[in-house]
Amino acid sequence: MLRQRSILYLLSQEIFHSVQNDKDDKYKMFFKDIIGQQEVKERLIRTVREGFVPHAQLFCGPEGIGKFPLALAYAQYLNCENPTESDSCGRCASCTKYNHLAHPDLHFVFPIVKKAKKKEVCDDYITEWREFVNKNSYFNLNQWLDHIDAENSQGLIYAKESEEILRKLSLRIYEAKYKVMIIWLPEKMHESCANKLLKIIEEPTDNTIFLLVSDTPDNIITTILSRCQRINIHSIAENDITFALESEYNITPEDAINVAHLSKGSYLKAIETISLNEEHKMFFNLFVQMMRASYARNIKDIKAIGNGLAAIGRENQKSFLIYCQRMVREYFISNLSQPQITYLAQDEANFGIRFAPFINERNIIGFMDELALAERHIEQNVNAKMVFFDLCLKITMLIKQ
C-alpha cells in the first residue's frame, strides 16, 4: 500500500511539473470568477471559516449555472494555505496545483464511454478531462462526450469505478487538509457502483469530502441522496449574465440583455446563443422538418427524418427531444402574447408565427407526454428509428387537434 501511494504521488508530481510552466493549461477558478451565485459563495465560505464542512454535499440545479465551478472553487478554498475572507489566495502550493487540476488529494469521477484499450475507469480519461476542463468553465455532458469522440455511446460511470474510488480513498492524505472527491453527474452512475459507495459516503475516512454535482438529482438513487447535504443552486440572475456577456464578448448592451433573457439563467445557454452553434441549428432544422412532415402526413419524409435522427447518437437524440419539449412549451406560451415569459431565438420565433397556433390547450399535454416517452425509450436503448417514426405518427394526430 505504501509503495502504491508513493507511485501515485510521484505521478501527480510529474503531471504537475509538466504543466506548471504552461499558462494556457491553467484552470483558474476562484469564487470571484463564477458568474453570480453570491449567496451560495458566501454560504460555502462560511462553512469553511466556521469549521463546519459536511463530508458529503450535493450541488444540484439546472445545466450551465456554474455548479461544477462552484464545487471546484470550494475544494480549492478548503485546501488553500492562506485563504482570504472571500477567496483562495491563488499563490500557495495547494492553489498552484489546483490551478493545474493536478493536486494529489483532488480526485474526479465523471461519465465516460467504453473504448478499446480503456479500462472503464475515469483515470483512463484524466488527460482528456484536464484538457477539457482547462478550456471550459461552463459545459455539459454532450460537449464532454464530443471531446472524447463518444459517437453513439452514452456516457456512464461504470461499476469498476467504485473499486478505484475505494482504493484512492483508502490511502492517507498526501499533503492537503482535505482529500476531495468531485463526482460530476452522479445520476450517470451504474447502480452497482453507487451501491458500493454507500458505506464510504456515509462514513468516509478522516478529512474526506465528497462533492457531487448533478443536473438531475431526482435520477440519483435515494440511498445516495439521503447521505448528502443538498445545496440547491438556482439560475443566474439576468443582470449578472448581462454584465458577464458585456465583459467577455464584443456585443452591444441591448444584445447582451436579449441573450441573457433567452438564456433562462444558464450562462452556457447564453454562450451557445451568441455563438449560434451548430447543435442549435441542427436541432432547430430537425424540429422544423419533423413538424412539417408530420403536419403533411408525408410518410416518406417521416421515415427519412427517423433514419437521420437515428444516426446522431443517443446523447444527441435525448438532447434533441429535450429541445423539442422546450420548443413546444415556448410556442404554447407564445400564444398568450406575453413576451416577457417567452424565450425564443429569432429563427425559432419566426417559425412560430405560423406554427405556434397549432400548439394549444387541446394537445399540449399530449405533445409533452409523447416527447417525454420518446426520451425515456431512447434512454432505454429502444431502436431509434422506431421511436422517431412512432413519435412522428403521434404528432400527426396531435397537430390536427
What is the rounded average pLDDT of the residues 83-105? Answer: 90
Diameter over CA atoms, the chain: 70
Which domains, from first to last, does the chain contain? 2-232 (3.40.50.300), 276-399 (1.20.272)
Could you read off the pLDDT of 288-305 as tens digits, one per residue?
999 999 999 989 999 998
pLDDT of residue 6: 44
Place of cell 394526430: 397
Nearby residues of 293 by Cβ (< 8 Å), 6 or more positions away: 301, 302, 305, 392
pLDDT at 27 over 80: no
pLDDT of residue 281: 80
pLDDT at 307 over 50: yes
pTM of the model: 0.71
pLDDT of residue 258: 84
| H/E run at residue 216 | none
Could you read off the pLDDT of 334-374 as tens digits, one per residue?
888 777 777 777 788 889 889 999 999 999 999 999 999 99
Question: Closest by alpha carbon to 109, among 83, 131, 129?
Answer: 129
Could you read off the pLDDT of 120-151 as tens digits, one per residue?
889 999 999 999 998 888 999 988 998 988 87
Write the CA distances from 162 to 18, 184, 190, integer angstroms.
29, 14, 9
**How would residue 379 be classed by pLDDT, with cut points 50, 70 and 90?**
confident
**How would residue 16 be classed by pLDDT, with cut points 50, 70 and 90?**
very low
Q: Using CB atoms within 10 A of its CB, is residue 179 exposed (0-12), middle (13-18) or buried (19+)?
A: buried
Q: By percentage, how much of the chain surpasses pLDDT 90? A: 51
Q: By percentage, how much of the chain surpasses pLDDT 70? A: 91
Could you read off the pLDDT of 226-278 as tens digits, one per residue?
999 999 999 999 999 999 998 888 778 888 888 888 888 999 988 887 765 66
What is the rounded average pLDDT of the residues 188-194? Answer: 91
